[in-house]
Structure 1
Amino acid sequence: MDPQAVLTMGQNALFLILTVAAPILATVLGVGLLISLFQAITQIHEATLSFVPKLVAAIAVFALAGPWMLTTMVEFIRSTILAIPQHAV
């Protein structure tokens, strides 16, 4: 396997990780921003007030986007495994 093929596979893997993680990260970021704004306005600084909504939002995104995430990752792994004989020396 030549170095270019390894770098391409690594680049594709990193892009897949970013693509799969983006919905969860964006949701948790948005919820955290809203909770921080609420805490700044009301001057209530409770740690659980920011943790619990983020956890609930992440679970909701997992429930909605989980099948897509799993399918995307399985297809990438399948194509990577099937490409091994083509790149073998």
Structure 2
Amino acid sequence: MLRHELDEVGVFVNGQVSCIFVVALLDIVVAGAWYALFKPVNRRLSATAAWVISLGLFGIYLVLIGYLAFRSGFMAKTVR
């Protein structure tokens, strides 16, 4: 009985690790998309934002993307 329970826990942990890898890969894809979108606004800052999200520093990433969105002429400006 104990061996069966340990096997179930192993499958659960393997699933969690797999999900973390999928999230990391999707973060890289999203970072590349944000970089491509905001490159015309500020290439250096856009690259910094893409690098920061790939490191997992999500708060700094959101501030940088928010700044780039505010500065761009093609994003909706709801707060002025």
TM-score, scaled to structure 2: 0.37
The structure carrying a bigger helix percent of its residues is 1
Q: Which has the higher contact order (CA 8 A, sep 6+)?
A: 1
TM-score, scaled to structure 1: 0.34
